[in-house]
Amino acid sequence: MWSDILLQALIGFGGGAVVAAGVFALVSAIGIIPRLADKSHTAKYISRYEDSVVFGGILGNIIYVYEVSVPIGVIGGIIFGAFAGIYAGVLAISLAEATSATAIFSRRANLKKGLGAVVLAFALGKGFGAFLMFFERWG
């Protein structure tokens, strides 16, 4: 009985560790943290950024696994959603740059100028769609 539970716990912990290592390796490989530190001119605090990413991953897992209720209210939810959306957008753009998808798209669409406007239009459309889905109960 206890050996089965111990084996399941070991397999679960090992699987979680492998997935977490893969996610952090992906984030490190595409250079999100150094790029954000460079753009914000705060490269001297890069070790704090990296520690924050690790701490956030641990805290998020604890909240998810133990189903901890975090009473942040509507305003807290909006703030969290904004930061989560910013992170997801930065991750998507970093992946696109890493795979040269932006360069390929601009070449195929014959864009000489205005690629930033195209990316902004995608982001605004995604945000508007999320607004409709959450507040108007679409989807």
Query: Where do the domains of the chain lie?
Result: 72-139
Beta strands in the chain (DSSP E): none
Q: Which residue has the higher pLDDT, 103 or 117?
A: 117
Residues 65-92 as b/e (b if ≥16 CB within 10 A, e otherwise) read eeeeeeeeeeeeeeeeeeeeeeeeebee
By percentage, how much of the chain surpasses pLDDT 90? Answer: 2
**What pLDDT, on the 0 to 100 scale, is given for residue 75?**
92
For residue 93, is pLDDT > 80? Answer: no
- Indicate the helix (H) or strand (E) that contains 72: none
Distances (CA, A) of 127 to 59, 91, 124: 26, 16, 5
Which residue in 134, 40, 21 sits closest to 86, CA to CA? 40
**What pLDDT, on the 0 to 100 scale, is given for residue 138?**
63
In this prediction, residue 3 has a pLDDT band, given cuts at 50, 70 and 90, of confident
